[in-house]
Amino acid sequence: MEPSGLAVFWVAVIGASILIYGILDGFDLGVGILFRLARRDEQRVWMMNTVAPYWDGNQTWLVMIGAGLYAAFPMVYAVLLGAMYIPVALLLIGLIFRGIAFEFRHHAERLRWFWDWGFFVGSTLIAFVQGAAVGLIMRGIPVENGQYAGSVFGWLHPFSVVTGVGMVLGYTLLGACWIVLKSDGGLRAWAYRRIPWLVAAVLLDLLVAFLLTFRYSVLARDNLQGRPFGFVFLAGGALALVGVLIGVRQKRDGVPFTMATLFFLAAFATLDVMFWPLIIPYSVTVAAAAAPDASLNFLFYGAIIVFPVIALYTLANYWVFRGKVQQSATY
């Protein structure tokens, strides 16, 4: 059964929201993960200032993802929530704690160390559970009678741990490239020194994940082999990481972040190749999970207003705060 045009439209909206969120919130989560590696408080303040105008707006896309799934694919929302109660709870804890730490550390004196750790731990926790969720989806989610039929700890699997660590490393790489793009002087040099190590770690984790895919994600492997164009995205991702290193070598500040973004695009496209037309691997298709067309049609008119407004707001925000952030800047 082929999905309707409205169902495909909503898949595209939700997919675009996931991709935009992963890149935009990914770099500020990466800055948070790098936060504890900075030895001086001046560096940490500078790092926070590079993301201060953006971080809360970036999370708008997370709301768009949840609302879109709930409205357009309620079965998917219910199954994923059932499969990931603990990861979702940890995600919310990380988001709350990270947001509080972001604000409180500027005013704290004796407890500044505590909020520094909160910012780091919250950012790391969010990145890890997102990656673990990707691993769970790649392994497949058991569904019976439209409900999740697995264990509450089904997400906590060696493959999910590998993908969780991979997401932490990927976001950290994105964050280091963002710091290079937005800062200068000592902080820029500090970030440049860490990017090659992060590229190596991401490649190693990807290799392990790719090998484990052949054991734990058989259908995804078969789909990839049956759609050879998917290997173009894999190769594109590898070339993007090489491009990151070239940008580091040539000290061209905009290149590493651009290439890291292309790497995330390639990874997302590869996952699409592995799973389409499934929306809950490996049992529920887009057509089966979609809400009735009457509901999708009603929601369509909201989406064509809300999605462009959020996109325009995001673009305007990045345009207003474009350019390098000086160490003396405050927000």
| Closest listed residue to residue 14, CA positions, set 71, 55, 56 | 71
Q: Distance (Å, rounded) from C-alpha 205 to C-alpha 165?
A: 8
State residue 74's pLDDT score.
86
Count CB-CB contacts under 10 A for residue 302: 11
Residue that the structure tokens 């997400």 belong to: 155
Q: Does 20 or 271 have the greater pLDDT score?
A: 20
Task: Give the residue-averaged pLDDT of 270-280.
Answer: 80
Q: Would 94 be classed as within a structural domain?
A: yes
Does residue 327 have a pLDDT over 70?
A: no
Q: Would 22 be classed as within a structural domain?
A: yes
What are the φ/ψ torsions at residue 328 (nearest 5 degrees)? -80, -5
pLDDT tens sequence across 127-140: 999 999 888 888 87
List the domain range (segments joined by +) for residue 165. 5-303
Count CB-CB contacts under 10 A for residue 90: 16
| CATH, residue 89 | 1.20.1630.10
State residue 165's pLDDT score.
93
The percent of residues in the chain predicted with pLDDT above 70, rounded, is 94
| Residue 101: band (very low, low, confident or very high) from pLDDT cuts 50, 70, 90 | confident
State residue 151's pLDDT score.
78
**Token pair of 279 as six digits:** 């929306």
State residue 299's pLDDT score.
85
The percent of residues in the chain predicted with pLDDT above 90, rounded, is 22
Does residue 256 have a pLDDT over 90?
A: yes
- Ranking 95-109, 163-177, 184-198 by mean pLDDT, the lowest is 95-109
The sign one gets for the Cα dihedral 143, 148, 153, 158 is: positive
Q: Would 175 be classed as within a structural domain?
A: yes
Q: Distance (Å, rounded) from C-alpha 186 to C-alpha 191?
A: 9
State residue 45's pLDDT score.
82
Q: Would 235 be classed as within a structural domain?
A: yes
The sign one gets for the Cα dihedral 260, 261, 264, 266 is: negative
Does residue 183 have a pLDDT over 60?
A: yes
Q: Would 311 be classed as within a structural domain?
A: no
Does residue 224 have a pLDDT over 80?
A: no
State residue 179's pLDDT score.
92
| Whether 22 contacts 266, CB under 8 Å | no
Q: Which residues pair with 278 in a beta bridge?
A: 285
Q: Would 309 be classed as within a structural domain?
A: no
Does residue 220 have a pLDDT over 80?
A: no
| Residue 196: band (very low, low, confident or very high) from pLDDT cuts 50, 70, 90 | very high
Task: Give the residue-averaged pLDDT of 231-245.
Answer: 87
Does residue 218 have a pLDDT over 80?
A: no
State residue 217's pLDDT score.
66
Q: Distance (Å, rounded) from C-alpha 322 to C-alpha 316?
A: 10
pTM above 0.85, yes or no: yes
| Residue 225: band (very low, low, confident or very high) from pLDDT cuts 50, 70, 90 | low
Task: Give the residue-averaged pLDDT of 88-100.
Answer: 87
Does residue 263 have a pLDDT over 70?
A: yes
Domain count within the chain: 1
Q: What does pLDDT average to over the chain?
A: 85
Apex 43 CA angle, 240 and 106, nearest 5? 120
Q: Would 117 be classed as within a structural domain?
A: yes
State residue 286's pLDDT score.
84
Q: Would 330 be classed as within a structural domain?
A: no
Task: Give the residue-averaged pLDDT of 280-293.
Answer: 81
3-state secondary structure the chain: CCCCHHHHHHHHHHHHHHHHHHHHHHHHHHHHHHHHHCCCHHHHHHHHHHHCCCHHHHCHHHHHHHHHHHHHCHHHHHHHHHHCHHHHHHHHHHHHHHHHHHHHCCCCCCCHHHHHHHHHHHHHHHHHHHHHHHHHHHHCCCEECCEECCCCCCCCCHHHHHHHHHHHHHHHHHHHHHHHHHCCHHHHHHHHHHHHHHHHHHHHHHHHHHHHHHHHCHHHHHHHHHCCCHHHHHHHHHHHHHHHHHHHHHCCCHHHHHHHHHHHHHHHHHHHHHHCCEEECCCEEHHHHCCCHHHHHHHHHHHHHHHHHHHHHHHHHHHHCCCCCCCCCCC
State residue 124's pLDDT score.
93
Task: Give the residue-averaged pLDDT of 71-97.
Answer: 86
| Residue 330: band (very low, low, confident or very high) from pLDDT cuts 50, 70, 90 | low
- Ranking 25-34, 81-90, 276-285 by mean pLDDT, the lowest is 276-285
